[in-house]
Every structure is written in C-alpha cells, then in structure tokens.
C-alpha cells in the first residue's frame, strides 16, 4: 500500500501532507453544519471564522475534543474535505491514509478514527502515535539508544514521552491543552472585570500577554481589547493588564511542569541521566507560549528547547513515516492492532 496522504488531525488545527509534495495544507479543524444536516456548509478557516457569529440553525463543530475523537461523522467529513483538496488523491483511485492519534486514545476511539478515514474514501488507513510523529519532525532520532523527552503542547492535550530505542520508556499526559488558557482568560475577564470577550480575542490576548514565567514577565504592558461590558450591555473597548493573563497561564503551565517531572521520576535512572545532555524538546503550537522552554527546563533541571516551527513537527514527522514506515512499526497501528503500541 502507498501511503499517499498523511493527516495530523488536532483539536484545533488539521494539517495534511502528500507523499510526493510533503506538507501541503494547514487549516482550522472546524466544520459548520446546518441543524439536521450531515453535510457541512463549509470547513477549515472559513468555518472557524463563524465561531461566535453563527446565526440560528447553524453550528460549528470539531471532530476531536481534548485531543481524542469525539464525533466520527465529523471526522469522516473532515477527511472527505481534505481528500477532495489533495492532488495526490484526485489522480489515484486507491490510496492509503496515515493519521496521527493521541497515544492515550482508547481502542474504540482509534478504531472509529480508522473507520472514519475508510468511510471518507481511503482504501486503507493507519494510525501513528502523535508524539512519535512530533519527535521525528523535531529531528530526534527515535531509534537511537540515548533517551529523549518530547513534550507536545497542543490545543486540546499535552503529552510528555521519553523515547529510547524507538520504544516508549515513560509517558504522561494532560487531557487538556493550551485552549484551557483561553477559557480561563474569558472566565477571569467575565467574573473579575465584567467583560465578555469572544474566543478569538482570548486567543489574541494569550499570544500577546501570556507567559510561562510570571515572575519575569513585564508588568507594565497593557493591551487594548474589545468585548461586551456586562454592566453597560454594550460593546466596549477596555485595557487588560498582564496579571489576569499570567494567572490563567499559570493554572495550565504549573500542571504541565508537574506532569513532566512525574514522567522523569518514573523513568529508569540511566535514561533520566541521559537527559542531562539531550534535554527536552517542545513541539506543538503551545510550545510558542513565551518562556515555556525556560520554565520546563527549570522545573526538570535539564536543558529544554523549542523545536523549529513547533506547530508543524507532527505533520513533518508523519511525512517521514509515510515515506518509509518500516523503522517505526512500534508507533503505528492498523485495524488489526499494532506491534508495540498497545
Ligand atoms: N504564540 C503562541 N503563544 C501561545 N500559544 C500559542 C501560540 N501559537 C499557538 N498557540 C496555541 O497552540 C495551540 C494550537 O496548537 P496545535 O495546532 O499544535 O494544536 P492541535 O494540534 O490542534 O491540538 P492537539 O494536538 O492538542 O489535539 C492553540 O491553543 C494556540 O492558541
Ligand atoms: Mg497536535
């Protein structure tokens, strides 16, 4: 089987690679549906723009929630939408698809994900551990003997995996990701400041004022934002300071640091010692949170760096696996199960 198409389906974003071209598409994983209809009106970034703006009878949905499949119909529709956009698939009648999947997804969710790809038109489908794909995309030699720690910081999940000899020596995860910071920012602004802000504004506030080192972050920055004043019941411009945003970040970042420490604590001593040289590598869009590498490095007492273009590591790694899956069998699973991935 030729693995012509690779898809990194995330909670927030979806990315696609073609065997001949490499990564070709990045879009929001949103789908907009009219109530009662099973075919989306639109998908991707156009559907994302409808979040918080939909009129009656239209809703925006995502196939995954907290990093794992929530709705197989949405996943099949998303795959169909991607297959239609792919040059490689249009010219071939039979094609295989490789899809990333959270390592902690339950067997029933993995099977549903594979079936969604088959329903959408793929002749065969395989799942690849998202952390293994991200590690390869970050340039780590998965099959080498020295241990390496990969922390994938996504929108809906965060995983920390210690790899050695192509196997997983220790693993931990949080069943939520950096989108939780957006929710926290919205809640703090609503309850403590009396403003309601949309999801897109909360994301912008997080990117601008967010930091993983609250003590080092500059306090005198003020950002202008727009929201609905709950007292005035009218749209208003207002100023936000860094404090509430740093508090929102800290909730998630502190848990993330604790989870990574637990992974290292549970690893065999020799492997943990390897990390003093190799350090930890951060991937996923959330790795771009200001100072996250420094904070994790401090918490673990080892060097820590953000991979180049961290948000595209998983799809670049998946493309590598599509070209030659054999060395990565332990990270791959089909409908009949996987060798090393239980
Ligand atoms: N500069 C930045 N600062 C802070 N967070 C960022 C930045 N850029 C992107 N993010 C966050 O990264 C997340 C998106 O990352 P990514 O695209 O890797 O997630 P995903 O693959 O859709 O989700 P998952 O892998 O968890 O299912 C969003 O929460 C986004 O707000
Ligand atoms: Mg992801």
Q: Per 3-state DSSP, what percentage of the chain is helix, strand, and coil (rounded to 5)?
A: 40, 30, 30
Confidence at residue 7, expressed as pLDDT on a 0 to 100 scale: 98
Asked whether residue 282 is domain-assigned, the answer is yes
Residue ranges around ligand 1 (CB below 6 Å): 10-13, 64, 67, 154-157, 177-179, 203, 206-207, 210, 284-286, 288-289, 311
Asked whether residue 139 is domain-assigned, the answer is yes
Number of domains in the chain: 3
**Cα–Cα distance, 302 to 146 (Å, whole number):** 15
Same domain, 235 and 121: no
Same domain, 241 and 142: no
**Does residue 95 have a pLDDT over 90?**
yes
- Give Cβ neighbours of residue 337 (< 8 Å, ≥ 6 apart): none
Ligand 2 centroid vs 317 CA: distance in angstroms? 12
Asked whether residue 35 is domain-assigned, the answer is yes
**Does residue 280 have a pLDDT over 80?**
yes
CATH number for the domain that contains residue 29: 3.30.420.40
Confidence at residue 135, expressed as pLDDT on a 0 to 100 scale: 98
Kindly report the pTM of this predicted structure. 0.96
Confidence at residue 236, expressed as pLDDT on a 0 to 100 scale: 94
Per-position DSSP letters for 263-297, written without gaps between them:
HHHTS-HHHHHHHHHH-EEEESGGGGSTTHHHHHH
**Taking CA 62 as the corner, what is the angle to CA 314 and CA 80, rounded to the nearest 5 degrees?**
75
pLDDT digits (tens, 9 = 90+) for 104-137: 999 999 999 999 999 999 999 999 999 999 999 9
Asked whether residue 342 is domain-assigned, the answer is no
Atom of ligand 1 nearest to the CA of 207: 3
Atom of ligand 1 nearest to the CA of 64: 27
**Taking CA 194 as the corner, what is the angle to CA 191 and CA 195, rounded to the nearest 5 degrees?**
110
Minimum mean pLDDT among 54-58, 144-148, 228-232, 310-314: which range?
A: 54-58
> Exposure string (b/e) for 255-287, b if CB count within 10 Å is 16 or more?
ebbebbbebbeebeeebbebbeebbbbbbbbbb
Closest among 117, 107, 195, 104 to 157, alpha carbons compared: 104
**Does residue 84 have a pLDDT over 90?**
yes
**Does residue 341 have a pLDDT over 70?**
no
Looking at all shown ligands, the one closest to residue 199's CA atom is: 1
Average pLDDT over residues 275-285: 94
**Does residue 342 have a pLDDT over 60?**
no
Same domain, 305 and 170: yes
Same domain, 25 and 107: yes
Length of the chain: 342
Same domain, 110 and 53: yes
Last residue of a domain, one of 222, 248, 274: 248
DSSP 312: G
Atom of ligand 1 nearest to the CA of 203: 31
Ligand 1 centroid vs 162 CA: distance in angstroms? 21
Same domain, 142 and 278: yes
Same domain, 102 and 222: no
Last residue of a domain, one of 193, 225, 248: 248
Contact by Cβ (8 Å): 297, 303: yes
Under the banding of pLDDT at 50, 70 and 90, the label for residue 93 is confident
- The CB density around residue 329, as the number of other CB atoms within 10 Å, is 14
Write out the residues surrounding ion ligand 2, Cβ under 5 A: 10, 154
CATH number for the domain that contains residue 187: 3.90.640.10
Return the sign of the alpha-carbon dihedral for residues 95, 4, 152, 252.
negative
Same domain, 172 and 308: yes
Same domain, 203 and 128: no
**Does residue 149 have a pLDDT over 80?**
yes
Ligand 2 centroid vs 223 CA: distance in angstroms? 28
Residue range of the domain that includes 84:
3-133+313-337
Closest among 248, 175, 148, 235 to 207, alpha carbons compared: 248
Same domain, 56 and 124: yes
Six token digits for residue 95: 């094609």
Pocket test for ligand 1, best of 131, 155, 174, 223 (most atoms within 8 A of CB): 155
Average pLDDT, the chain: 94
Same domain, 17 and 158: no
**Cα–Cα distance, 341 to 151 (Å, whole number):** 18
Burial class of residue 339 (count of CB atoms within 10 Å of its CB; 0-12, 13-18, 19+): exposed
Pocket test for ligand 1, best of 158, 285, 306 (most atoms within 8 A of CB): 285
Same domain, 239 and 303: no
Phi first, then psi: give them for residue 206, nearest 5 degrees: -60, -45
Confidence at residue 92, expressed as pLDDT on a 0 to 100 scale: 67
Last residue of a domain, one of 223, 248, 273: 248
Confidence at residue 269, expressed as pLDDT on a 0 to 100 scale: 87
């Amino acid at each position: 089987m030729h693995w012509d198409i690779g898809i990194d389906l995330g909670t927030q974003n979806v990315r696609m690679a073609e065997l001949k071209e490499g990564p070709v598409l990045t879009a929001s994983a949103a789908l907009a549906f009219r109530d009662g209809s099973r075919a989306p009106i639109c998908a991707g970034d156009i559907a994302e723009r409808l979040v918080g703006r939909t009129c009656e009878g239209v809703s925006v949905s995502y196939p995954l929630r907290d990093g794992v499949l929530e709705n197989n119909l949405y996943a099949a529709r998303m795959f169909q939408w991607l297959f239609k956009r792919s040059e490689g698939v249009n010219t071939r009648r039979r094609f295989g698809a490789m899809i990333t999947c959270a390592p902690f997804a339950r067997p029933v969710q993995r099977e549903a994900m594979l079936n969604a790809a088959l329903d959408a038109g793929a002749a065969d489908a395989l799942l690849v551990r998202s952390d293994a794909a991200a590690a390869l995309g970050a340039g780590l030699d998965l099959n080498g003997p020295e241990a390496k720690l990969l922390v994938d910081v996504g929108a809906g999940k965060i995983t920390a995996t210690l790899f050695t000899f192509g196997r997983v020596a220790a693993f931990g995860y949080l069943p939520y990701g950096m989108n939780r910071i957006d929710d926290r920012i919205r809640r703090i602004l609503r309850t403590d400041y009396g403003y309601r802000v949309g999801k897109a504004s909360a994301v912008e506030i997080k990117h601008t004022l967010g930091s993983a080192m609250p003590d080092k972050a500059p306090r005198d920055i003020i950002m202008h934002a727009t929201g609905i004043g709950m007292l005035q019941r009218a749209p208003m411009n207002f100023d936000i300071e860094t404090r509430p945003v740093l508090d929102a970040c800290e909730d998630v970042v502190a848990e993330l640091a604790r989870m990574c420490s637990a992974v290292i604590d549970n690893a065999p001593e020799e492997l943990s010692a390897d990390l003093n040289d190799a350090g930890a590598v951060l991937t996923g869009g959330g790795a771009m949170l200001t100072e996250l590498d420094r904070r994790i490095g401090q918490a673990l007492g080892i060097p820590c760096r953000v991979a180049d273009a961290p948000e595209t590591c998983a799809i670049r790694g998946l493309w590598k696996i599509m070209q030659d899956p054999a060395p990565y069998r332990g990270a791959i699973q089909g409908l009949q199960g996987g060798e090393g991935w239980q």
